[in-house]
Copies of this chain bind each other. A is one copy, B any other.
Amino acid sequence: MAITMKDIAQRTGVSIGTVDRALNNRGRINPEVASRIRKVAQEMGYKTNSVAKSLAIRNKKLKIAVVLHIQRNNNYYEEVEAGIREAEQDIFDFGIQLTIYRGIGFDPQDQLRQLELAVSNGANAIVLVPIDSPLIRDKVTQLQQAGIPVVFLTNFMENIPVFSSIRCNYRRSGQIAAGLLRVLAREPGDVLVFSTSFSMLGHRRRVEALQAQLAISCPQLTIRKVVELPEGELDCYQLVKDALAEYPCPYLVYNGNAKAGIRAIQEAPHPISSIFYDLSPSAREALSAGIIDAVIFQNPRQQGYRAVNILFEYLTAGTIPVKPVELVECNVLLRESIQELSQP
């Protein structure tokens, strides 16, 4: 039987209200009494019951705000959002409301506005896919000083303390691509690398790690060129097409609009072994059809879920994350990982 505030009230001879004040540092209590209560609670191994707590604080109508910048047609972000929504379901019965605010594109000014809107709507905690800009940095610092914890999701910034930061293990993600090249490459050759916006720190890290690890894992492969890709499918397609024409490499690592990449590969006059990031429906199809060779899956859904979950645990149980950064691992998918099973 778990021990309750009532138990420790009886044990210390005070009322349960006093125990509450002591344990939650609410002030208006004799410091000595408070410390005695805390000591007893400690001894008895008291843990606050988060179920009872959240039922009680229900009328505080706690709000978690999620601030995203819209990525249109981006399966990765759709999945991140699916994870957020899943978490929303799970916290619903606890009376915690979740609202998603969408900024437009990579505009820090707009993101700042979203943050301020969230706060003015009474957000008690914020999940943020941050745009790295002084504007945002300052705002985040300010929010946290005001007691509003911020957790970074997917993207991040350096040198700014934040309640938690959850993202995929970008370095690992690059490293795994190197491993896959090691396994897939039948003969020496050049590698072409494509990546979405390097204004996102993680994307840079991923490519760096790929380069570093490739030199170790598979020195007979050399990266011929790294191409930064835009958002739109058409622009993206043209860039890939051009790059492939200029450098007809047999190996390719691709992060970007999947459709564009797949199309360019299919149209290339030379055979290409390719590794794609993220499992969009088109990537899934291409993998299954043997057009691309492997997919590195970065668990976007899990990331979204966890970011909300971490704030939920803070709000309901006061849990402070043990690690300031939580890295979600990546998986390797081959054709056989997703293909229809031959037997049901």
Contact = CB atoms under 8 A, between A and B. Distances in A.
A234 interface: no
Can you tell how many copies of this chain the complex includes? 2
Given A183-B334, A332-B334, A334-B183, A175 B339 contact: yes
A93 interface: yes
Interface in A287-344: 293, 317, 329-337, 339, 341-343
A94 interface: yes
A44 interface: no
Nearest to A50: B93
A99 interface: no
Interface stretch (A109-117, A211-219, A255-263): A211-219
Nearest to A178: B336
Contacts of A317: 93
Interface stretch (A51-59, A137-145, A237-245): A51-59
Contact of A334 (B50, B180, B335): B180
Nearest to A296: B337
Interface in A151-168: none
A102 to B, nearest CB: 24
A145 to B, nearest CB: 29
Interface residues on A, range: 35 or more
Given A54-B51, A55-B55, A183-B184, A171 B341 contact: yes
Q: Specify which of A175, A180, A339 lies most central, judged by the most chain B CB atoms within 10 Å of its CB.
A: A175
A49 interface: yes
Contacts of A28: none
A183 B180 CA distance: 10
A26 interface: no
A131 interface: no
A336 B176 contact: yes
A180 to B, nearest CB: 7
B186 A183 contact: no
Contacts of A213: 336, 342
A342 B211 CA distance: 11
Contact of A332 (B95, B186, B331, B341): B331
Contacts of A336: 172, 175-176, 178-180, 182, 213, 217
A255 to B, nearest CB: 17
Nearest to A97: B1
Contacts of A175: 336-337, 339, 341-342
A146 interface: no
Nearest to A184: B183
14 contacts: A51-B55, A171-B341, A172-B341, A175-B336, A175-B337, A176-B334, A176-B336, A179-B335, A180-B336, A186-B186, A213-B342, A216-B342, A217-B335, A217-B336
Given A179-B336, A212-B343, 11 more contacts: A2-B95, A50-B93, A172-B336, A172-B337, A175-B339, A175-B342, A180-B334, A183-B184, A186-B186, A209-B341, A332-B333
Interface of A: 2, 49-52, 54-55, 92-95, 171-172, 175-176, 178-180, 182-184, 186, 208-209, 212-213, 216-217, 293, 317, 329-337, 339, 341-343
